[in-house]
Amino acid sequence: MADQPSSAQGRTEQAEEQSQRARLEEAEARAARYKQLSFDDGNIILQADTASFCVHRSILSLHSEVFRDMFAVGNSDGEETRDGVPVLRLPDQDDELYELLRALYLPQHINRTIPMDFGLSLILLKMSTKYMVNFVRQEIISRLIRCYPNSIRKYRTRRVRAEDKNHILALEAALQHDVPVILPTVFLNCCQMSLDDILDGISIADGSILHFTPSTLKVILRGRQKLLDLQRLWLADFMPKFTSQLHCKEVREGLAQVFVSKSMVESFDMFAPLSGEGLCRACKHDMAREWWIMRADIWRKVPECFGLRWESAPVAARVTR
């Protein structure tokens, strides 16, 4: 029994040692990554939070109007230098500046055929908007549109589907960085989250909770109610017409009960096609036609539920300062 405290202390010390070793290895790996974007012939040092990158004014000026304007101001007498190279201090986190520079020097890594982490996409959206790097912003918006299309046909057949936690991140990013083209579909996906997650937020890996801001929460809850009201209005008109014929009447009435008892907003996708299992061919055809009319009408009204309108996908990304 007397050995138990020392044994437990030993395990604690071992766990702490392993944690310190892991942090050291992570820091070394990060420093090695950053070094890849620091060049011997660079003529400007970008200083982020703790990391610095010796890069080329010409590359930055070519792609970024913001950097081009910074360099056009000219040198001041009290300019900070490091080994004779001017230093430009930026209020950016290390990883965020690194990812922007990597996109400028190695643009193939943001090619739309290569899968990209959702969090990385939002970092690049933020940085490309801030520094007006149009080709990066345009590519990231194209990726987001594939997750949140503004066409009902593309919405039904989309292959890339974001997790619920990403809806929260995407909504915040779209509002902050001027991406109105995805907003109606992002709001729609937020409405399809569980009510508990909408109100209380979603826990993520680091133990923190992602949640909506009070203002966006109001928009979501009001929009969700408007979608439910649209659903009820359509069902009130759709179901009596749908069950009026004698053949397949029992099957139709069964389907009607399913629709009435479930919320299309939360329980299942209101824009998915219906199977029509158990119905004759004629009834399946009638049902598919009426259901498509209903879905198309509701889809047109989705933006109005959130005080928005459908935006066209941009040919070139719009960037604002």
**Does residue 317 sit within a domain?**
no
In a domain, 25, yes or no: no
Examine the domain organization and report whether 253 and 116 are in the same domain. no
Residue 7 lies in a domain: no
In a domain? residue 64 = yes
Quote the domain boundaries for residue 57.
44-190
> Which has the closest alpha carbon to 168: 205, 126, 220, 124?
220
CA atoms of 124 and 136, how far apart (whole Å): 7
The CATH number of residue 156's host domain is 3.30.710.10
* The predicted structure's pLDDT at residue 129: 97
Q: What is the pLDDT of residue 101?
A: 96
Residue 205, domain member (yes or no): no
28 located within any domain: no
- Cα Rg of the chain (Å, integer): 27
Residue 282 buriedness (CB in 10 A; 0-12 / 13-18 / 19+): exposed
Spatial CA neighbour of 143 closest among 130, 165, 127, 161: 161
Domain assignment present for residue 204? The answer is no
Nearby residues of 164 by Cβ (< 8 Å), 6 or more positions away: 193, 197, 202
For residues 142 and 280, membership in a common domain is answered with no
What is the count of structural domains for the chain? 2
Q: Rounded to two decimals, what is the model's pTM?
A: 0.80
For residue 292, being part of any structural domain is answered with: yes
Per-residue pLDDT of the chain (321 residues; tens, 9 = 90+): 455 556 666 667 676 777 777 777 777 788 888 999 999 999 999 999 999 999 999 999 999 999 999 998 866 666 889 999 999 999 999 999 999 999 999 988 887 666 778 889 999 999 999 999 999 999 999 999 989 998 888 888 887 778 889 999 999 999 999 999 999 999 999 998 888 999 999 998 888 999 999 999 999 999 999 988 887 787 777 666 655 555 566 666 666 666 655 555 454 456 666 666 666 777 777 777 777 888 888 899 999 999 998 887 554 433 333
If asked whether residues 177 and 256 sit together in one domain, one would say no
